[in-house]
Amino acid sequence: MRGKVFTKIGREIAIAVREGGSAPESNAKLRDVIAKAKANNMPNDNIDRSIKKAAGELGNVEYVEITYEGYAPGGVAVIVECISDNRNRTASDVRHCFAKNDGSMGVTGSVGFMFDKKGVLILERKPDADEDEVMMAALEAGAEDVQADDDVFEITTDPNAFSQIREALEAGGMEFLSAEIQMIPQNYVTPDEENVVKIQKMLDMLDDNDDVQNVWHNAEMPEDPDD
């Protein structure tokens, strides 16, 4: 599982380097991906190797970002974000995941309007954490909202301000469990028991595909579909 996560993060590094260069100090997107890599316990050697590979120092593979949209069973909206070196293979694989589980691929924009793009920072809520302090620091840094749960704080940002807010909060001593741009559903759908099984199988198939980076959906899924 760790190897699969590292492979996917390596592809994100490749895209970031291609767009903004291999120097993190001048490439905010690359800094964001490095922060994500560290949150996933990716070793520094792996990060450095991925950056060098992306910069062409250790060979060169051309990756592209592709987004697919469609519906899972029960009218559940799904967005699949991919990074691939072969569009035809990826399109065929993603289409198969939908079709195999009674879903249907749609055109670009067919479900995207049902989601809001947001920066999401997850901070562990330690026993001695001062909720007001965390909220004040996040809002002063420019965050849109802060939600306090039992175990974590969830900080939401405008995606365009995500990098500067993350860096400002890290400079203040915060360490994040995860920090990434997400597609947040505006409304949720509760599928019936039969469709829950199909949806979970489809999500598992997509997750197993190395080209798939993220899958966003608006299904209100039970914690364990097998229960």
Last residue of one domain, picked from the residues 14, 31, 54: 54
Shared domain check, 213 and 102: yes
> Strands, DSSP E only, in 26-103?
64-72, 76-84
Asked if residue 125 belongs to a domain, the reply is: yes
Shared domain check, 105 and 165: no
Q: What is the CA radius of gyration of the chain?
A: 19
* CATH number of domain containing 17: 1.10.10.200
Counting the structural domains of the chain, the total is 3
Q: What's residue 138's pLDDT?
A: 95
- Which of 178, 177, 176, 174 has the alpha carbon at shortest distance from 130? 174
- CA distances 225 to 8, 17, 91, 194, Å, are 26, 39, 27, 10
pLDDT digits (tens, 9 = 90+) for 164-209: 999 999 999 998 999 999 999 999 999 999 999 999 999 999 999 9
Shared domain check, 46 and 96: no
Shared domain check, 105 and 129: no
Asked if residue 194 belongs to a domain, the reply is: yes
* φ/ψ (deg, to 5) at 155: -105, 125
The token duo for 94 is 């993603």
Roughly how many angstroms between the first and final C-alpha of the chain, as a whole number? 24
pLDDT digits (tens, 9 = 90+) for 72-120: 999 999 999 999 999 999 999 999 999 999 999 999 999 999 999 999 9
- The domain in which residue 173 lies consists of 115-185
* CATH number of domain containing 195: 3.30.70.980
